[in-house]
Amino acid sequence: MKTAVAMAVAVALAGTAPAGLALAQTSGTYGTVNLSAGFMPDPHRAGVVSGGTINSRDYLDGCVGWIADEPDYVVNYQAGSVLPLIFYVEAEGDTTLVIADPDDEFFCDDDSGGNLNPRVHITRPVSGEYAIWVGSYREGAYHQSTLFVTELSSQGR
């Protein structure tokens, strides 16, 4: 059972992807985008379906949710000097978020975006490829979802 407190955990891995999760993708299942600091329109939006057959908890300590083995979406990002990079999801069902940054550091979230939606705020993003998995909290649940990418802290709650 979930707690009322939102769970947000950054999990650093020793430069390798957990067995069962594919990294170093050039495209995600639902697409890929190239964004540079100051991108417009902000937020960038992408339609995805949450869920999968992999329990993220089995591969990444502190993560929850069921994800696909391949990333749902990939963002190739050219960082600037001052702006954060924020990912959040809006869906009718209970979703989770797993993100691998260009240094293979993993960020996981369950409910930080409010209304059972996840949000990951990366204060000092680096340039490179961000692999994104939109998960479902419950096994076998698949939800039409919108993934948002923004640099504006006021977005995504």
Report how far Cα 45 is from the mean position of its chain's Cα atoms: 13
Cα–Cα dist 33/87, whole Å: 14
The model's pLDDT over 77-130, given as tens digits with 9 standing for 90+, comes to 999 988 999 999 999 999 999 999 999 999 999 999 999 999 999 999 999 999
Query: Span 126-149, mean pLDDT?
Result: 98
pLDDT tens figures, 19-57:
556 555 568 999 999 999 999 999 999 999 999 999 999
* pTM recorded for the entire structure: 0.85
Q: Is the pLDDT of residue 145 over 50?
A: yes
Is the pLDDT score of 14 beyond 90?
A: no
**32 vs 9, which has greater pLDDT?**
32
Residues paired with residue 129 on neighbouring β-strands, in sequence order: 76
Q: What is the mean pLDDT of residues 54-66?
A: 94
SS3 assignment, position 56: helix
CA 140 to chain centre: 19
Residue 63, pLDDT above cutoff 60 = yes
As a whole number of angstroms, the distance between CA 50 and CA 17 comes to 21
Sign of CA dihedral 26, 30, 34, 37: negative
How confident is the model at residue 10, as a pLDDT? 37
**Which residue in 87, 78, 77 sits closest to 8, CA to CA?**
87
